[in-house]
Amino acid sequence: MANKQDIITAIKNLDIFLKIPELKGAEVKFNKNGTPFAFTGGFNMVFQLKKGDEKWAFRVWHVPMGDTKSRYQSISSYLSEKKLPYFAEFIFDEKGILVNGELLDTIRMKWLDGLIFKDYVNKHLNEPIVLEKLADNFTLMCNVLRENDISHGDLQEGNILVTESGEIKLVDYDSICIPEIEGQMELVTGLKGYQHPSRFSGSKASLKADYFSELVIYLSIKCLEINPKLWDKYQVKDTQYLLFTENDFSDFINSNIYNDINGLSQKTDKLLAVLNEYINTTSYLNIKPFPSYLLPPRIICFKPNKNVLIRGVEITIEWEVQNALEVEINNGIGKVLSKDKIIIKPIDNVEYILKVTGFNETIEQPLNIKVFPTPIIKSIQVPSLIVDQEIHIAINLPEFPNVDLGIREIQTDLNIQLTQSIQLGVFTNNTPQYKECIVNLQSINKSTSYLSSLMNKIKSKNSKISTKIFTNKNV
């Protein structure tokens, strides 16, 4: 296999060694020292070629990659069909350049302008709004790739470009997985510090390959957005990492970066908990995309055991929510659990508001409690008795719940003289069925105190809303 120096020699002499007709006459970009401008990775070298108004990223492998022709042709066809804005035009050229007597396969794609991800973050390190937008754009890209059944397979700072307007572009497609490739042996397993430890155990290409690195990158952006001092503390600029290294994953909760990040904010704590769950999962194939842990908050229930009550009576309020970072109820209750209940004794009409804070939004739900004063009936006016006529005592009460009627005092100047008996009936809900209380009386005068005693006897049998008193004999 040709070494790096052999490849550089061939690139300096494109007119002799370049075998791609579409690129004939192209010129390579040189550094000031006279060497070709190049990005050199662990498997290949990328040069910038220019032909006319078009610039191309021209890739040549310095490490054997096996028979990859059909693989790259499949990737090229699939990406061309999807036309996603994150990928450049991508063409696989078999035997594209002659290097030290050997024809090597090459890949060319339209040159993408932009800053390397880490350089972009460094440039806007003290601009939290810019970093917040970068994090949002990165999450959007991850969602779009999943929806289109694509995993990049090697998401890391060197393979992500960011334009000045914040648009994200991806480069280096050796590790891309599409449905046609899933299950084949991986050519590239990604950069350590961005990958789940199980990824390096002879894994096969999977559409789930990006899940771990997506969270590592997103969490790094959010932490730097809050605390840019982490950049210098962990010398991010001079490493191939962002904030995490593969050594941190071996004992995560005791690592320095875990302790520095823990407590930064509710959001980063949530992400940190998800990353810890990832690390404690045996295989990266068993983890879920981190946005699935950040679903919008949802209120399952927020209700009392009664909506109307008498002042001083206890009421129980219960609630249950999902996907919440914080749950709070006003009027002095404060922060609460996601599922709980509380007993209170309100004295006036009150509105309780359940406030649920999720990762990206906050929702609220009100609960109105009506509180009525304790009912007091001061007097009941009873018309004078008329011979052979039914007298009704009707008590109209407001619609209080569970009200028991009590008659404390009856005041009257009546002097009732009965020849035989008096019947008193207590009606229930104005229906014709009622319980009778028959008292046999002699021709005697009945005072107010006796009527009170008689009413108490009736009440002991049936205390309801309507009372009926009538006579069936002449007085």
**CATH number of the CATH domain containing 358:** 2.60.40.10
Assess whether 270 and 151 both reside in one domain.
Answer: yes
Assess whether 271 and 143 both reside in one domain.
Answer: yes
Pairing of strands 27-28, 44-51: antiparallel
Assess whether 85 and 125 both reside in one domain.
Answer: no
Neighbours of 447 (CB within 10 A): 13
- Phi and psi for 129 in degrees, rounded to 5? -65, -40
Assess whether 278 and 316 both reside in one domain.
Answer: no
- Residue 379 lies inside a defined structural domain of this protein: no
- Residue 377 lies inside a defined structural domain of this protein: no
Count the alpha carbons within 13 Å of 129 in the hemisphere toward its beta carbon.
1
* Structure confidence at residue 214 (pLDDT): 97
**Mean pLDDT of successive 10-residue stretches along the chain, which has 475 residues:** 86 91 92 88 85 90 75 89 91 89 89 92 96 96 97 94 94 91 88 92 89 97 97 92 94 95 94 95 94 92 87 91 92 92 90 92 92 72 51 48 46 46 46 43 45 53 42 39
* Structure confidence at residue 153 (pLDDT): 94
Assess whether 180 and 316 both reside in one domain.
Answer: no
Neighbours of 204 (CB within 10 A): 13
In terms of C-beta density within 10 A (0-12 exposed, 13-18 middle, 19 or more buried), how is residue 382 classed?
A: middle
Residue 434 near residue 468, CB atoms below 8 Å: yes
Q: Residue 96 and residue 58: Cα distance in Å, rounded?
A: 10
Assess whether 180 and 253 both reside in one domain.
Answer: yes
* Structure confidence at residue 387 (pLDDT): 45
* Structure confidence at residue 457 (pLDDT): 52
Assess whether 43 and 164 both reside in one domain.
Answer: no
Q: Residue 170 and residue 361: Cα distance in Å, rounded?
A: 29
Q: How many domains does the chain have?
A: 4
**DSSP annotation of 42:** S
Q: What is the CATH number of the domain that holds 186?
A: 1.10.510.10
Neighbours of 463 (CB within 10 A): 13
* Structure confidence at residue 360 (pLDDT): 84
- Residue 385 lies inside a defined structural domain of this protein: no
Domain holding 26, by residue range, is 4-110
Specify which residues 115 forms β-bridges with.
Answer: 162
Residue 376 near residue 354, CB atoms below 8 Å: no
* Structure confidence at residue 248 (pLDDT): 95
Tens-place pLDDT, residues 48-101: 999 988 899 998 888 776 667 788 889 989 998 999 999 988 888 888 999 988
* Structure confidence at residue 233 (pLDDT): 95
* Structure confidence at residue 257 (pLDDT): 96
Last residue of a domain, one of 110, 125, 158: 110
* Structure confidence at residue 462 (pLDDT): 44
Last residue of a domain, one of 277, 293, 309: 293
Neighbours of 471 (CB within 10 A): 20
Assess whether 168 and 283 both reside in one domain.
Answer: yes
Q: Report CA-CA distances (Å) from 15 to 22, 87, 91, 97, 181.
A: 13, 29, 20, 10, 35
Assess whether 75 and 96 both reside in one domain.
Answer: yes
- Choose among 290, 316, 289, 312: nearest CA to 302: 316
Structure tokens at 448: 């107010």
- Choose among 374, 353, 376, 356: nearest CA to 365: 353
Assess whether 357 and 409 both reside in one domain.
Answer: no
- Residue 257 lies inside a defined structural domain of this protein: yes
Structure tokens at 401: 């719940």
**Distance between alpha carbon 29 and the CA centroid of its chain, in Å?**
47
**DSSP annotation of 36:** B
- Residue 386 lies inside a defined structural domain of this protein: no
Q: What pTM was computed for the model? A: 0.71
- Residue 475 lies inside a defined structural domain of this protein: no
Q: What is the CATH number of the domain that holds 11?
A: 3.30.200
Assess whether 409 and 262 both reside in one domain.
Answer: no
- Residue 380 lies inside a defined structural domain of this protein: no
Assess whether 202 and 345 both reside in one domain.
Answer: no
Last residue of a domain, one of 67, 92, 110: 110
